[in-house]
Structure 1
């Protein structure tokens, strides 16, 4: 919980301060890359952390992740231009890539699925409280000090996390010898980076028919094809093919990827909308995002209790995604038509509540559907796909904004400071562009809802360490799992 809270605190603080950072360093068209570089680095390292934790143990790997993240935080605080900040955010991401998979793997080691459902509310509260505190701290520190300090706040919080883990995590976990697939990781990262460059720079920095775009597209396809061939031949590939023979894992991974594609792509631009369109200060814009986390806390807490008693999850998840789709649509309509707080804030609350009914359960479901020997890598891969979806969402949303600014010849419009009152025409351009981002989010989350209808239900009653007889969780016939 300490590690998850640290990751949530950092992301929410940075999102609030992004408009002020861009006003100071310039480069509105590259705003999303401050987030993209971080998420890309963390996404690429997630599968590696899962296997390294199996090979060398949970404790040394989580220490490594924390130390790398804190070093990157110091460098981000010292950044003097946008290029430096993007590079240092990538270093931060190399560390944060271990936070979610390692935390979930450790929880899976220590707590049975049903007990995990009961405690999920507590985990969600810690996660959401830091997410609420982050925007407020980010706004206050940006207003009172400077945006550089939003990165230094990670140091005392990280020190507390290190102390808590060193004191509490003493039980040695069984380790397993693994071959680390460095070639597969390099191919995966290269294909993702090439794809993101096409999405982010095509039509803005470079024309769609430019040689650079063609080269990046060719690299994305070529490296992706090489990766597919590689994982079929490697002894222990970065993307284990046998996991994809489990229907529960397949559907859960795609649903989480689509959900986070919509969520991350839209939520990164909440502070930008509040500050540049509605004229709020950074501190106020941080407070305006609090309802989403409050909704997530309430829904996650109730969800954990219901799941622990009923041992059923699908109906709740379907209802949650339906609420999220409605909320996305309401936000898109409210932003496009210039509605005020009475429309925007309730919709933000309901968006958080809807997602709080979906996200906490999915990891528990996947862990219950996999044999114990595959739960570590399966958890890491689910987190990878979730993060990859968020990465595509942030990059795609940034491309929508950059394209709209480029179309109006105002790619450098970041000169407007946070909270500054923009000219009505310029404000309208930002409003329409951000509304388009939420329209895209509505469509993406609707696709996740349709796919979720096909998710089989598995029993959560099995022991987390032993599973059902034969080493697998109880599953319906519709969800076969290849022998490990």
Structure 2
């Protein structure tokens, strides 16, 4: 794709606006949700504000990727961004929690295009020697936006109104639409192919929704095990049907031949397990430092900042690393560093200082930073133009699925470990009332100052040990996930962004 420098700048700017929207949305909404629930009511729908967004965005990722290969990147990206903005506007004018949940679903339908198609367009407009640099830039913007999302959300809620956490998307999104419309043209659209695999899209969508719904229920509903098993079984059958359909479709939504390419198949495995470990375990660090170490809520709210900043460092450097080393070399080094970080985090106990936790997180972040840009760049460079959209979207899709499964599996595991620990605690401290022990079944109650103050010092210390031991088990499982990702990276092959020139 031949572009002028001015058009390249416009496209890059437009994509960065879209990435800011995609990365900041979840964190900014998380900050405002307590206020929203108080204003709109419907507290029983609280978790669905996040779940329905995740379901919609994850489901549509591979579909957007394939449609972008068939009908052009520009059209599909603008459609996705427009749907996201319409959803944002509707969320901002919602009058009930049910309306907000439905409108978040609309937002998610558009969000499924933003991240994967940004990677696809970047791979189209930049030559291999510059592609890694801009993939690293996108990773940096994503990390920085995630850091400042909670702060911005708090400011808007405290000084303006919670509705502006959605309205603020409109000027950013409109600017992104302007830059993409004026800078990018679809002068190449899959060589005229227009056959759409509707049956494949339907079975894939149904399978993903069924499995993710099972995961969501498994995380929040203790008495629905039969329904969850049924959902997983139906999801597995639908996945089998999807694979059968794709093997015979003229233009499959996800071409199965792509998984014969090491950079894609093993890259997806790495993204899946790395996301499962990262999202499933790191989410509990703020809870740990506030509930066990005892820092203030204000400090706990920013405790992940060193992790994200160290991620920014290696994400920014990933472009230069990809110019010098093979993808496998970068991934192995990054995952070993991340593995060391998680092993250190698993050693935390009630005696661990806040300084030690910060050092552990910095090591972990340095390992994490280059992984996503590397596997994204590898997927984009492994295929031609006609398959690039589905290749990059499948990479993002497997990361999203991995993160969802990690949160669900490790979250349930933490709850079970806490319950078992509290049973032992009751035996060791028979004077502690059953009412208090029941309240403490949820680790979040470690943050309740009233409950903490009602416990004797030895009871509180025992409770802190229960949680730190449970968290130890969580990080051990996360270490296992990272180990699987490390094994996959060893099988990644010799692919690299820039092939070394042969001397005659």
Structure 2 counterparts to residues 59-78 of structure 1, below 5 A: 59-78=74-93
Matched residue, 2:408: 395
1:327 and 2:364 correspond: no
Deviations 1:406-447 (A, max 9, x none): 886449969979x75352379747666655544432321222
Q: Which moved more, 1:12-21 or 1:44-53?
A: 12-21
**Structure 2 CA distance, aligned partners of 1:151 and 1:430?**
36
Matched residue, 2:449: 421
1:342 and 2:352 correspond: no
Structure 2 counterparts to residues 337-416 of structure 1, below 5 A: 337=350, 339-400=352-413, 409-410=438-439
The Cα RMSD (Å) is 3.6
Taking a change above 3 Å as real, the CA distance of residues 37 and 332 of structure 1, as seen in their structure-2 partners, is farther
**Structure 1 CA distance, aligned partners of 2:207 and 2:381?**
31
Q: Which moved more, 1:317-326 or 1:28-37?
A: 28-37
State the secondary structure of the residue aligned to 2:449: coil
Unaligned runs of 5+ in 1: 469-473, 475-484
Matched residue, 1:183: 199
**Structure 2 CA distance, aligned partners of 1:22 and 1:443?**
37
Taking a change above 3 Å as real, the CA distance of residues 227 and 290 of structure 1, as seen in their structure-2 partners, is same
State the secondary structure of the residue aligned to 1:98: helix
Greater fraction helix: 2
Matched residue, 1:441: 478
Structure 2 counterparts to residues 52-451 of structure 1, below 5 A: 52-79=67-94, 83-144=98-159, 147-170=162-185, 172-175=187-190, 176-202=192-218, 205-207=221-223, 210=226, 212-270=227-285, 278=294, 280-281=296-297, 284-308=299-323, 310-334=324-348, 336-337=349-350, 339-400=352-413, 409-410=438-439, 421=449, 423-424=451-452, 428=464, 436-451=473-488
Query: Are the aligned partners of 2:45 and 2:98 in contact in 1 as well (CA < 8 Å)?
Result: no
1:285 shift after superposition: 4.2
Q: Which moved more, 1:128-137 or 1:244-253?
A: 128-137
Structure 2 counterparts to residues 452-467 of structure 1, below 5 A: 452-461=489-498
1:173 shift after superposition: 3.7
1:315 shift after superposition: 2.0
- The TM-score with structure 2 as length reference comes to 0.79
1:147 shift after superposition: 4.6
Aligned length: 460
**Structure 2 CA distance, aligned partners of 1:121 and 1:190?**
34
Taking a change above 3 Å as real, the CA distance of residues 462 and 168 of structure 1, as seen in their structure-2 partners, is farther
**Structure 1 CA distance, aligned partners of 2:105 and 2:328?**
36
1:376 shift after superposition: 2.4
Larger radius of gyration: 2
**Structure 2 CA distance, aligned partners of 1:148 and 1:434?**
36
1:130 shift after superposition: 1.7
1:23 shift after superposition: 7.7
Taking a change above 3 Å as real, the CA distance of residues 239 and 324 of structure 1, as seen in their structure-2 partners, is same
Taking a change above 3 Å as real, the CA distance of residues 7 and 190 of structure 1, as seen in their structure-2 partners, is same
Unaligned runs of 5+ in 2: 1-15, 421-436
**Structure 1 CA distance, aligned partners of 2:443 and 2:167?**
25
